[in-house]
Structure 1
Amino acid sequence: MSRNDQILLYHERMLWRKIIDHNPLFVTFTDKLAAKAHIQKACPDLKLPATLWSGHDPADIPPALFDGDVVIKVNHGCAMNIFVSGGPPDHAAIISQTKRWLRKPFGQRDGEWAYWPIKPTVLVEEKLSLSGGRIATDINVHVCGGVVCHVWVEDRQADRSVLFDRNANPLPGRDPDYPREDQALPVNKRLVDFVREAIAIAPRLAADLDYIRIDFLVTDEQLFAGEIVVYTAAGYATWTNPDIAREIERHWHIEKSDYMRRSHLGPARLYAEALLAKCLSDFGNDEALEAGSKD
């Protein structure tokens, strides 16, 4: 049997994380408010979009906040954002929508456990002027055990993206959000400079996690912290370049996960020992044994 036949694939590891590896830190990272506190402590020199207000009842949002450019969102899910700018908003509609979001559990359909314990909260955040159409809007760095595997850069305003390796060299291949070749984001010096900066910062925010994605927001002047993503694309991420997934698989050592670092009893101990043996078989070195030893 070849190594490729034995090795746990990226999507298998992500499914294992959803079902088995319930690291409490995942809840911190998935909670948008708690993640901001973690980022501020781990990397105080990195700018964050300011939180202008947070609470459990959107009706309590100070009316004056609607006069500026803000983003209204909830902390316990994805794609639940309202962008307020360019005129008086419909307060009633915003309150109604956010109340629906607060009542809505997130992550159940795809088994994203880390969302479930979060206490839903609404927050008002400053709206950054992102560099869409000029540089990019987002830089997302995939990190395994402190090693940057690749970087995904997207321009949400221009519907374009580009991939980089850990040395900020462009990579071939497309992603599912921008799959066409004519959606390749042009590379310029300012973008590469930002990518290099993100590559330098991301491992500081990733702690010693076996795999995590660190997101940054891009303005014309500087990088801002974005989110810390536990379940990239809900665990279904794909790339047309197979080397992208293989690089993650090379460096994502699940024997370094929170689950494998903890002591277990009974059937769980037998399972953890069998999984460690599988990891040793896949990687063929003593590093897995050392990382998987119990405290």
Structure 2
Amino acid sequence: MLKNLYRLIISKLPKKYRLALTYFRIFGVFPNIENPQNFNEKVLNRILYDKDSQFSLLADKYAVRAYVQEKIGEDYLIPLILCTENPDDLYGMDQWEKIVIKPNHGAGMVKIIDDVPSSREKDYIIEQAQRWLKLDFSQVCDEWHYSLIQPKLVVEQKITSEGEALRDYKFHRFTTDNGDFKQLLQVVAERSEKGYETVFFDVNNLDSILHSPFGFQLTLNAYEQMRIREIVKLNEVLCNEYDYVRLDWYITQQSIYFGEITFTPGAGRSKSFAGSFGEKIGQLWVMQ
């Protein structure tokens, strides 16, 4: 009951106060949105004041494929099986094994399928997909640009082999005062009983962890490091008009694949950027 009352009160507040209050619930202090200093505060400032219409195009997991193909080529795109606005179209797919189903307009919604599901399981998957497409993801954390994305289902080929773990390689790219790029790598592994497994590296020193917000330890092997250096160069071609952007990639045993583009990581309320680390990262973001 109290949760429902809280949500009702929050929904009635002006957006600025809603962002501040939800930030306070996580960190115990109110953010400085007007004169942001740490990384999360700068994300909140972007959410509130930066209305660049390109955010919606580039955050769209389907539409961004054309942009990436134009900039760096189609070889880096995960093979596409289907894109549709009608979940019932999934029934007509010839391929149901080794696929990934997700919507194009949000985060945290994904179905990984290894083996062909039964008819009943397909029904459940399609019902779940229908719920995804009805969700206005912009209302979840006040990230306005998701409201301009026409919801679609994207079905892609599963890019990992059996037993192969898939990590997210998230490159936080900042534009410096002299126009050069500074990139920090955030590697996200699977969740465990210990918490969220994520660590940060400076792309110029991949042998040492820069920051581990939750104590997770990770060593990047020689193959990963080679692929990361390749991605760093590709990132310099993408979205280079922005003072900050996050560019996500996947590294498999055979190749590298583009993942997505994010302009408001963690919706400005990520514990990965808490404390002094968030303040240091905030200094890298020279807001225009």
TM-score bracket relative to the smaller structure:
0.7 to 0.9
Residues of 2 paired with 1:109 and 1:185: CA distance?
31
Residues of 2 paired with 1:242 and 1:46: CA distance?
39
Corresponding residue number in structure 1 for 2:239: 206
Residue 125 (structure 1) aligned with residue 156 (structure 2): yes
Residues of 2 paired with 1:151 and 1:244: CA distance?
14
SS at match of 1:38: helix
Residue 184 (structure 1) aligned with residue 213 (structure 2): no
Corresponding residue number in structure 2 for 1:54: 83
Corresponding residue number in structure 1 for 2:22: none
Residue 29 (structure 1) aligned with residue 62 (structure 2): no
Corresponding residue number in structure 2 for 1:259: none
Corresponding residue number in structure 2 for 1:75: 104
SS at match of 1:108: helix
Residues of 2 paired with 1:155 and 1:9: CA distance?
25
Quote how far apart the aligned CAs of 1:8 are: 2.6
Residues of 1 paired with 2:235 and 2:246: CA distance?
8
Q: Is the 8 A contact 1:150 1:244 kept in 2?
A: no
Corresponding residue number in structure 1 for 2:182: 148
The 5-angstrom pairing of residues 167-182 of structure 1 reads 167-169=204-206, 170-175=208-213, 179-180=214-215
Q: 1 or 2 for the larger relative contact order (CA 8 Å, sep ≥6)?
A: 2
Give the residue type in structure 2 aligned to 1:31: D
The 3 A distance-change label for structure 1 pair 25 and 227 is same
Give the residue type in structure 2 aligned to 1:173: H
Quote how far apart the aligned CAs of 1:71 are: 0.9
Identity of aligned residues (%): 25
Residues of 2 paired with 1:34 and 1:47: CA distance?
15
Residues of 2 paired with 1:138 and 1:130: CA distance?
16
SS at match of 2:224: helix
Residues of 2 paired with 1:14 and 1:224: CA distance?
26
Among 224, 232, 248, the alignment partner of 2:265 is: 232
Residues of 2 paired with 1:157 and 1:151: CA distance?
18
Residues of 2 paired with 1:132 and 1:195: CA distance?
22
Quote how far apart the aligned CAs of 1:130 are: 6.3
Corresponding residue number in structure 2 for 1:11: 40
**Structural RMSD (CA):** 2.5
SS at match of 2:250: strand
Q: Which ranges in structure 2 are unaligned for 5 or more consecutive residues?
A: 1-34
Quote how far apart the aligned CAs of 1:160 are: 4.2
Moved more, 24-33 or 198-207: 198-207
Q: Is the 8 A contact 1:27 1:117 kept in 2?
A: yes
Corresponding residue number in structure 1 for 2:116: 87
Q: Is the 8 A contact 2:100 2:157 kept in 1?
A: yes
Deviation readout 1:113-148 (Å, 9 max, x if unpaired): 1101111111211111069867x6221100112513
Residues of 2 paired with 1:132 and 1:200: CA distance?
29
The 3 A distance-change label for structure 1 pair 133 and 33 is closer
How many residue pairs match? The answer is 244
Among 245, 248, 257, the alignment partner of 2:281 is: 248
Please give the TM-score of this superposition, normalised by the length of structure 1: 0.74
Please give the TM-score of this superposition, normalised by the length of structure 2: 0.76
Residues of 2 paired with 1:48 and 1:37: CA distance?
10
Residues of 2 paired with 1:240 and 1:31: CA distance?
25
The 3 A distance-change label for structure 1 pair 119 and 29 is same
